[in-house]
Structure 1
């Protein structure tokens, strides 16, 4: 059976002074996962190693994001990170550009037997 998405969280992060797209993306991912809890693992006696995590980050310059570093920083599951054009670059009157990233973090579990989610 295919994996089933159990959780999706969204987050936003920025780098105000360094135009560091990876830092802004990391902050967006942290913002998303900071809002989630995963009691399903303890409830079903599952290891978090069973979880597949897909992260999609939007920034204005996707090629400037270190996806391997972002995936390595995720605390649980087997992660993949992809980057798409999105987010915002905002010119600051002080002369620098603020980089704003958005992120979606999805957690997938193998299909489980013996219980079902109610619609």
Structure 2
């Protein structure tokens, strides 16, 4: 059994290239940049015990290479899923479309129930 120990949200964009992959990578990086898990050092738990689930939202999820995004994650047993979400924002003056991606990064550990005592 697992329990979620963290969920972080991030946002990334590509303003000129309409590159969903770049926007998604930036969203994941943004989410990860806001988190730290000192529990690993505190209790001697190896990072491989953590399962990381990342969900990325973009308007065209089939344009995302989830394996490439997974390989860029720094810790744990990771998986990335792409879903429809985010935003495409057209600029009628230039014809360009800005791509906005969102990401949720969740970390799960084996249940810690009964392993901790308040003193």
TM-score (norm 2): 0.93
Paired residues, number: 116
Report what 1:5 is aligned to.
4
Cα gap change, 1:48 to 1:19, in 2 (>3 Å): same
Report what 1:94 is aligned to.
94
Alignment of 1:25-36 (within 5 A): 25-36=24-35
Report what 2:43 is aligned to.
44
**Unpaired runs of at least 5, structure 2:** none
**Unpaired runs of at least 5, structure 1:** none
Alignment of 1:59-70 (within 5 A): 59-70=58-69
**Residue 95 (structure 1) shift:** 1.6
**Residue 96 (structure 1) shift:** 0.9
Report what 1:111 is aligned to.
111
Structure 1 runs of 4+ with >6 Å offset: none
TM-score (norm 1): 0.93
* Alpha-carbon distance in 2 for matches of 1:78, 1:20: 26
* Alpha-carbon distance in 2 for matches of 1:94, 1:59: 22
